[in-house]
């Protein structure tokens, strides 16, 4: 079996005096879609923030492509091939769609390559092309999410990490966004996401990790987790 693209070992993270992760383990292989699910307070977002350097890791390690990236400063991470789509569709509302995308490629100094990247995002998201000169603040929620994802693609990353991509979106847009994620996978990208909507996320995922209160509870293929009743009951403190 090939080595995983991303691996997290025995991760422990605390916010000040409050410990949130108590030794979480996780692997993502190239070309997979992996989801992290779990009830509130499970620490799902914290795992992701630890990978991209937004929180400090007290114990344990994060490895990407064979290299230890634990506690590297956040601004270094994109240059390694890992980009992040934050929770809540953070876009620069006053800037146009095109400018927002360009912001995603600020590390790319070659302007021709930048334009190519913008073009390829527009190809993938024709909706964004239509709105390319509009200020991002005027887009609908779903379109903004597409923009956030597009921006994360600008550096041609190997691993895209998404924090709650379906949050606050209407069902129609949830469908659309998840279709796009499948397309990304077919292009050979690897996705790691945290999702509230566990059912839809697991449908889409090759594998999933269910966390509870900072611990690994369940790990299995997406299908099996979906069928596992205990996983559902975990949300309400059962099982």
Interface residues toward another protein, by CB under 8 A: 15-18, 39-41, 167-168, 196-203, 226, 231-233, 235-238
Nearest CB to another protein, comparing residues 70 and 197? 197
Q: In the chain, what's the furthest Cα-to-Cα distance?
A: 55
DSSP 4: P
DSSP 95: S
Of 183, 220, 176, which is closest to residue 200 (Cα–Cα)? 176
- Side-chain-side CA neighbours of 9 within 13 Å: the count stands at 9
Q: Cβ of residue 48: shortest distance to another protein, in angstroms?
A: 16
Q: Cβ of residue 111: shortest distance to another protein, in angstroms?
A: 37
Q: Cβ of residue 17: shortest distance to another protein, in angstroms?
A: 4
Bridge partners (DSSP) of residue 162 are 85, 193
Q: Cβ of residue 101: shortest distance to another protein, in angstroms?
A: 25
Q: Which residue, chain included where needed, has tokens 């114990």?
A: 59
Nearest CB to another protein, comparing residues 25 and 45? 45
Nearest CB to another protein, comparing residues 149 and 198? 198
Nearest CB to another protein, comparing residues 176 and 201? 201
Nearest CB to another protein, comparing residues 115 and 232? 232
**DSSP code string of 54-68:** SS--SEEEEEETTEE
Q: Cβ of residue 39: shortest distance to another protein, in angstroms?
A: 7
């Amino acid at each position: 079996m090939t080595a995983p693209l991303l691996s997290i070992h025995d991760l422990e993270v605390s916010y000040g005096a409050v410990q949130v992760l108590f030794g979480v383990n996780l692997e993502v292989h190239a070309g997979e879609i992996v989801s992290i699910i779990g009830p509130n307070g499970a620490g799902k977002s914290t795992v992701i923030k630890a990978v991209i350097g937004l929180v400090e890791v007290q114990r344990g390690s994060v490895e990407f492509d064979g290299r230890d990236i634990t506690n590297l400063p956040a601004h270094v991470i994109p240059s390694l091939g890992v980009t992040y789509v934050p929770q809540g569709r953070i876009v620069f509302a006053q800037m146009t769609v095109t400018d927002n995308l360009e912001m995603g490629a600020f590390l790319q100094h070659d302007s021709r390559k930048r334009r190519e990247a913008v073009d390829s995002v527009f190809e993938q998201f024709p909706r964004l092309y239509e709105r390319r000169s509009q200020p991002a603040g005027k887009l609908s929620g779903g379109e903004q999410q597409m923009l956030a994802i597009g921006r994360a693609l600008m550096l041609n990353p190997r691993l895209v990490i998404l924090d709650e991509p379906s949050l606050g979106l209407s069902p129609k847009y949830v469908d659309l966004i998840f279709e796009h994620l499948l397309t990304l996978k077919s292009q050979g990208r690897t996705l790691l996401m945290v999702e509230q909507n566990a059912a839809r996320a697991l449908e889409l995922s090759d594998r999933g990790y269910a966390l509870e209160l900072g611990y690994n509870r369940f790990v299995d293929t997406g299908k099996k987790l979906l069928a596992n009743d205990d996983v559902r009951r975990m949300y309400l403190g059962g099982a």
